[in-house]
A and B are shown apart, each in its own frame.
Chain A
Amino acid sequence: KNQVEQSPQSLIILEGKNCTLQCNYTVSPFSNLRWYKQDTGRGPVSLTIMTFSENTKSNGRYTATLDADTKQSSLHITASQLSDSASYICVVSARNTGNQFYFGTGTSLTVIP
Protein backbone atom coordinates (compact mmCIF):
# COMPACT_ATOMS: atom_id res chain seq x y z
CA LYS A 1 0.00 0.00 0.00
CA ASN A 2 1.28 3.44 -0.94
CA GLN A 3 1.78 5.48 2.23
CA VAL A 4 3.64 8.54 3.46
CA GLU A 5 4.36 9.02 7.15
CA GLN A 6 5.79 12.14 8.77
CA SER A 7 7.30 12.79 12.14
CA PRO A 8 7.08 14.48 14.48
CA GLN A 9 3.43 15.48 14.31
CA SER A 10 4.26 18.83 15.91
CA LEU A 11 7.35 20.66 17.01
CA ILE A 12 8.08 23.83 18.97
CA ILE A 13 11.52 25.43 18.72
CA LEU A 14 13.16 28.69 19.72
CA GLU A 15 13.89 31.28 17.08
CA GLY A 16 17.37 30.83 15.68
CA LYS A 17 17.52 27.10 16.38
CA ASN A 18 17.72 24.34 13.77
CA CYS A 19 15.26 21.50 13.32
CA THR A 20 14.77 18.41 11.17
CA LEU A 21 11.50 16.97 9.94
CA GLN A 22 11.20 13.37 8.75
CA CYS A 23 9.25 11.66 5.98
CA ASN A 24 9.11 7.90 5.31
CA TYR A 25 7.31 6.51 2.30
CA THR A 26 6.35 3.26 0.64
CA VAL A 27 5.15 4.72 -2.67
CA SER A 28 6.04 2.73 -5.75
CA PRO A 29 6.99 3.25 -8.52
CA PHE A 30 8.67 6.37 -7.15
CA SER A 31 8.82 9.50 -9.30
CA ASN A 32 9.74 12.35 -6.96
CA LEU A 33 9.23 13.77 -3.49
CA ARG A 34 8.29 17.32 -2.64
CA TRP A 35 8.17 19.24 0.59
CA TYR A 36 5.40 21.82 0.84
CA LYS A 37 5.01 24.64 3.31
CA GLN A 38 1.47 25.55 4.36
CA ASP A 39 0.97 28.77 6.28
CA THR A 40 -2.15 28.93 8.45
CA GLY A 41 -5.22 29.53 6.31
CA ARG A 42 -3.29 29.32 3.05
CA GLY A 43 -2.72 26.71 0.39
CA PRO A 44 0.47 24.62 0.42
CA VAL A 45 3.42 25.88 -1.60
CA SER A 46 6.27 23.72 -2.87
CA LEU A 47 9.65 24.25 -1.19
CA THR A 48 11.78 21.67 -2.93
CA ILE A 49 11.67 18.62 -5.17
CA MET A 50 13.80 15.49 -4.83
CA THR A 51 14.17 13.00 -7.65
CA PHE A 52 15.51 9.46 -7.40
CA SER A 53 19.10 10.42 -8.17
CA GLU A 54 19.31 13.39 -5.81
CA ASN A 55 20.60 13.09 -2.25
CA THR A 56 20.54 16.69 -1.09
CA LYS A 57 19.01 19.92 -2.28
CA SER A 58 18.93 23.33 -0.64
CA ASN A 59 16.53 26.24 -0.93
CA GLY A 60 17.85 29.04 1.25
CA ARG A 61 17.66 27.90 4.87
CA TYR A 62 15.80 24.73 3.87
CA THR A 63 17.77 21.59 2.99
CA ALA A 64 16.05 18.41 1.88
CA THR A 65 17.67 15.00 1.75
CA LEU A 66 16.54 11.78 0.13
CA ASP A 67 17.66 8.20 0.71
CA ALA A 68 15.92 6.23 -2.03
CA ASP A 69 17.19 2.94 -0.67
CA THR A 70 15.58 3.33 2.74
CA LYS A 71 12.74 5.46 1.33
CA GLN A 72 13.33 8.29 3.74
CA SER A 73 13.52 12.04 3.34
CA SER A 74 14.25 14.85 5.74
CA LEU A 75 13.79 18.60 5.72
CA HIS A 76 16.32 20.54 7.74
CA ILE A 77 15.61 24.14 8.65
CA THR A 78 18.58 26.24 9.67
CA ALA A 79 18.48 29.32 11.90
CA SER A 80 14.71 29.24 12.21
CA GLN A 81 12.64 32.41 11.94
CA LEU A 82 9.19 33.22 13.24
CA SER A 83 7.94 33.08 9.65
CA ASP A 84 8.92 29.41 9.48
CA SER A 85 5.92 28.64 11.71
CA ALA A 86 3.73 26.55 9.42
CA SER A 87 2.75 23.01 8.53
CA TYR A 88 5.25 21.11 6.39
CA ILE A 89 3.81 18.43 4.16
CA CYS A 90 5.71 15.65 2.40
CA VAL A 91 4.17 14.61 -0.93
CA VAL A 92 5.42 11.67 -2.97
CA SER A 93 4.59 11.31 -6.65
CA ALA A 94 4.20 7.92 -8.28
CA ARG A 95 4.86 7.12 -11.91
CA ASN A 96 1.52 5.82 -13.07
CA THR A 97 -1.44 6.98 -15.09
CA GLY A 98 -3.89 7.46 -12.25
CA ASN A 99 -3.76 9.62 -9.15
CA GLN A 100 -0.10 10.33 -8.65
CA PHE A 101 0.20 12.14 -5.33
CA TYR A 102 0.48 10.64 -1.86
CA PHE A 103 0.38 12.97 1.12
CA GLY A 104 1.80 12.84 4.59
CA THR A 105 -0.31 14.34 7.37
CA GLY A 106 2.25 17.07 7.95
CA THR A 107 4.43 18.40 10.75
CA SER A 108 3.20 21.52 12.50
CA LEU A 109 6.17 23.71 13.35
CA THR A 110 5.93 26.60 15.79
CA VAL A 111 8.88 28.94 16.19
CA ILE A 112 8.76 31.02 19.36
CA PRO A 113 10.79 34.12 20.16
Chain B
Amino acid sequence: DADVTQTPRNRITKTGKRIMLECSQTKGHDRMYWYRQDPGLGLRLIYYSFDVKDINKGEISDGYSVSRQAQAKFSLSLESAIPNQTALYFCATSEGSRGHTGELFFGEGSRLTVL
Protein backbone atom coordinates (compact mmCIF):
# COMPACT_ATOMS: atom_id res chain seq x y z
CA ASP B 1 0.00 0.00 0.00
CA ALA B 2 1.14 3.54 -0.75
CA ASP B 3 2.41 5.64 2.14
CA VAL B 4 0.42 8.67 0.92
CA THR B 5 -2.97 7.86 -0.56
CA GLN B 6 -5.18 10.27 -2.46
CA THR B 7 -8.81 9.81 -3.41
CA PRO B 8 -10.27 10.13 -5.94
CA ARG B 9 -7.52 9.64 -8.52
CA ASN B 10 -9.65 11.14 -11.26
CA ARG B 11 -12.72 13.34 -11.11
CA ILE B 12 -14.75 15.19 -13.69
CA THR B 13 -17.22 17.72 -12.39
CA LYS B 14 -19.21 20.75 -13.47
CA THR B 15 -18.75 24.41 -12.69
CA GLY B 16 -20.28 25.36 -9.35
CA LYS B 17 -20.09 21.90 -7.78
CA ARG B 18 -18.43 21.25 -4.43
CA ILE B 19 -15.49 18.88 -4.60
CA MET B 20 -13.43 17.25 -1.86
CA LEU B 21 -10.07 15.60 -2.40
CA GLU B 22 -8.88 13.41 0.41
CA CYS B 23 -5.41 12.46 1.54
CA SER B 24 -4.29 9.95 4.13
CA GLN B 25 -0.79 8.93 5.14
CA THR B 26 0.82 6.09 7.05
CA LYS B 27 4.28 7.69 7.38
CA GLY B 28 3.51 9.21 10.77
CA HIS B 29 4.59 12.66 9.57
CA ASP B 30 3.30 15.80 11.21
CA ARG B 31 3.44 18.02 8.13
CA MET B 32 1.07 17.76 5.23
CA TYR B 33 0.69 19.82 2.07
CA TRP B 34 -1.60 20.29 -0.90
CA TYR B 35 -0.10 21.33 -4.23
CA ARG B 36 -1.50 21.80 -7.70
CA GLN B 37 0.47 21.16 -10.84
CA ASP B 38 -0.19 22.86 -14.15
CA PRO B 39 1.85 22.44 -17.35
CA GLY B 40 4.67 24.96 -17.47
CA LEU B 41 3.97 26.27 -13.96
CA GLY B 42 5.30 23.46 -11.86
CA LEU B 43 4.01 22.63 -8.38
CA ARG B 44 2.38 25.44 -6.45
CA LEU B 45 1.43 25.33 -2.78
CA ILE B 46 -2.25 25.68 -1.90
CA TYR B 47 -2.32 24.98 1.86
CA TYR B 48 -0.11 23.33 4.43
CA SER B 49 -0.48 22.05 7.96
CA PHE B 50 2.25 21.36 10.52
CA ASP B 51 -0.05 19.59 12.97
CA VAL B 52 -3.74 18.92 13.59
CA LYS B 53 -4.47 22.41 14.90
CA ASP B 54 -2.35 24.25 12.37
CA ILE B 55 -3.55 25.44 8.95
CA ASN B 56 -1.63 27.84 6.72
CA LYS B 57 -2.35 29.38 3.36
CA GLY B 58 0.02 28.83 0.49
CA GLU B 59 0.60 31.00 -2.53
CA ILE B 60 -2.66 30.08 -4.32
CA SER B 61 -5.26 29.42 -1.59
CA ASP B 62 -8.12 31.48 -3.07
CA GLY B 63 -11.07 29.24 -3.96
CA TYR B 64 -9.82 26.38 -1.77
CA SER B 65 -10.22 25.30 1.84
CA VAL B 66 -8.70 22.46 3.85
CA SER B 67 -9.39 20.38 6.91
CA ARG B 68 -6.86 18.47 9.00
CA GLN B 69 -9.12 15.87 10.60
CA ALA B 70 -6.29 13.89 12.20
CA GLN B 71 -2.53 13.62 11.99
CA ALA B 72 -2.96 11.19 9.12
CA LYS B 73 -5.71 12.95 7.17
CA PHE B 74 -5.75 16.22 5.25
CA SER B 75 -8.55 17.06 2.84
CA LEU B 76 -8.83 19.78 0.21
CA SER B 77 -12.20 21.28 -0.76
CA LEU B 78 -13.29 23.36 -3.68
CA GLU B 79 -16.53 24.99 -2.51
CA SER B 80 -17.64 26.04 -5.99
CA ALA B 81 -15.42 24.60 -8.69
CA ILE B 82 -14.48 26.67 -11.73
CA PRO B 83 -12.78 25.58 -14.97
CA ASN B 84 -9.41 27.17 -14.14
CA GLN B 85 -9.18 24.82 -11.18
CA THR B 86 -8.71 21.99 -13.64
CA ALA B 87 -5.31 20.59 -12.67
CA LEU B 88 -3.38 17.72 -11.15
CA TYR B 89 -3.46 17.94 -7.35
CA PHE B 90 -0.86 16.39 -5.09
CA CYS B 91 -0.86 15.75 -1.38
CA ALA B 92 2.55 15.49 0.28
CA THR B 93 4.01 14.90 3.72
CA SER B 94 7.28 15.68 5.44
CA GLU B 95 8.80 15.12 8.85
CA GLY B 96 8.49 17.73 11.59
CA SER B 97 11.31 20.13 12.44
CA ARG B 98 13.10 17.71 14.77
CA GLY B 99 13.61 15.11 12.09
CA HIS B 100 13.41 17.37 9.10
CA THR B 101 15.48 16.13 6.15
CA GLY B 102 13.84 18.27 3.52
CA GLU B 103 12.19 15.34 1.76
CA LEU B 104 8.61 15.51 0.58
CA PHE B 105 6.67 12.30 0.08
CA PHE B 106 3.96 12.68 -2.54
CA GLY B 107 0.75 10.85 -3.23
CA GLU B 108 -0.06 9.62 -6.71
CA GLY B 109 -2.12 12.68 -7.56
CA SER B 110 -5.76 13.51 -8.17
CA ARG B 111 -6.62 14.71 -11.65
CA LEU B 112 -9.56 17.12 -11.50
CA THR B 113 -11.41 18.36 -14.56
CA VAL B 114 -14.00 21.13 -14.18
CA LEU B 115 -16.30 21.53 -17.16
Contacts and interface: CB of A to CB of B under 8 A. Distances in A.
Interface of A: 31-32, 34, 36, 41-46, 49, 89, 91, 93, 97-101, 103-106
Contact of B42 (A42, A45, A99, A106): A106
Interface residues of B, number: 23
B45 interface: yes
A91 B55 CA distance: 22
Contact of B102 (A32, A41, A105): A32
B56 interface: yes
A89 B43 contact: yes
A3 to B, nearest CB: 11
Contacts of B106: 43-45
Contacts, number: 52
B101 A49 contact: yes
B55 to A, nearest CB: 13
B56 A46 contact: no
A61 B54 CA distance: 40
A91 B104 CA distance: 10
A103 B43 contact: yes
A43 B33 CA distance: 13
Interface string B54-67: 00101000000000
Contacts of B56: 98-99
B90 A43 contact: yes
A11 to B, nearest CB: 15
Contact of B108 (A42, A49, A104, A105): A42
Contacts of A45: 106
